[in-house]
Structure 1
Amino acid sequence: MDHPQVPRFATTLSVVNAWGRAGHFGNARVANERAGFPRHFDHQFGWAADQLSKFAFAGRISGDALMDQHSHLPLQLSIMAANDAVEMRNGMRSADMHKYHQLNQFFAWDPLEAPNLRRCPTCVEEDLARYGVAHWRLHHQWPFTRHCAEHRTPLQQACVRCKKSPFVEKVAIQLAHDDCLLCGHHAHFTPLIDESPVKGPAEAYWSLLDLAFRALKGEALEIRSFDEAALRRRGITMDHVVSKTLTRWNCRSGVELAAKLDIVVQEDNGARKLKNASPLMMKLAVLNCGLEM
């Protein structure tokens, strides 16, 4: 049986589940067991894309396709030097990456996905018409986003009856069009922005969402030309760019900016600090401001 077609940017977990639903339950189970659960289990690490291709999909979805179309790797590579990007890509293709979760997100300590799954109703309708099933999308899961970057549609998250949201760890067989697994209600979900509105200024929010989506698609080529040397030639310092970024987002500190992007902040002896010193979305927010200066 051929693997069913899947949309670009469907999460790897979603693709695995669709494969299992098409009758390849053994392979789907192997994929889930071998790759480990998504983000919240830091002791369970992902595995190489070529191995996932072989053992879960019998080679019908290549390792390159998994990396380029069903992971956040292109987003990360967009801000890396060319040589480093090649090295990271080769490592993800052929060797275990001990801080990478292949199923859904990039590094365990870089919060690229919210704990609850989100969906775009327009994507669901289009998927059902084209594929017969609806997939979770990578760019819907970024913690700060409240809209589909493609359709501008408000994302949905919680069941209208029980008000519960699908948790990443508990959806090994759930796809985006399924009825609520908790109460069985038909697949109707409330808009995410009703309960968790956009936290930043509208212009800054949409600009960051657009840049992140273009980077995921490999289209944000202008990022490559952004570095401190280029800034100095224009008489601008990185401190100036960071200051402008905080002003743009109406923040006084990096911790406040992290909060507006829904990035995890941890307590350390009573002081609040970022779980990671420079999460990817914060880097993109600074890059976005610098590119527009």
Structure 2
Amino acid sequence: MMNSQPGTLYVVATPIGNLGDISMRAIETLKSADRILAEDTRRTQQLLTHLGIKGSLVSLHDHNEKQRVEQVAEWAQQGESLVLVSDAGTPLISDPGYALVSQLREKEIDVVPVPGACALIAALSAAGLPTDRFCFEGFLPAKRGARKKALELIKQEVRTTVYYESTHRIMDMLEDMQEVLGGERYLVLARELTKRFETFISGTVEDVLAQLNEDTDQRKGEFVVMVKGVPSDNTSALDVSSEDVLKLLLPHVSTKTASQIGASLTGLPKKELYQLAVQLKEGD
């Protein structure tokens, strides 16, 4: 097994639930580290204790990451072997570490990944949704207005879209999805991955909401929400037929009404059709 190199930051993935998912390489890297940079030192200490590792822990989280960069760079330049871990899973994936990694690389300090568990990939691998192309959006905004605006952006998305969500907001999220995307949009909800109560729930937004309303235990835990994309033939860019529809409508109805009717007929976004309608009227 390769020994840790001095002056290097190792980005180490840790289990998202089942402690058996830690890799041998991750264990060896943690053992040989001079310092371990942890999002939550208490949680990481529990993992180290389980593994029988005595590590030197340093906190590195959203609130102190930028202030830590120069100190971490100095440690690396002094030849220390450093490890970055998050609470669980792969660091930087909706977790701290971006500022540190980007600035260390700018300073030409080696950054080495030690891959392993990641809730995003674990959920997709068992969801039965298309994964040849997907987009990861992390957590949706906490406020309803901003969350609905974010969901508007995927109404015509052809790729599978993946979100993380907490137990406190899962119902609000699904209710907003029903309103913005429609109750018939298909999704898969993965809950408590690799843990005792791991569950996959799939169906339309309406179906999944009904299941969570019926069984409140299914609202508890950490969630990965995967939304199936719309068929690509419904999301083509504005074309001649769309323009023709608007040209027929505009002499008889307002720009707003023309774009609404055009959206119903073509399946294209109202905003795009409205913008095209404005351009057509200005060109008259």
Check whether TM > 0.5.
no
Q: Which has the larger radius of gyration?
A: 2
| TM-score (normalised: structure 1) | 0.26
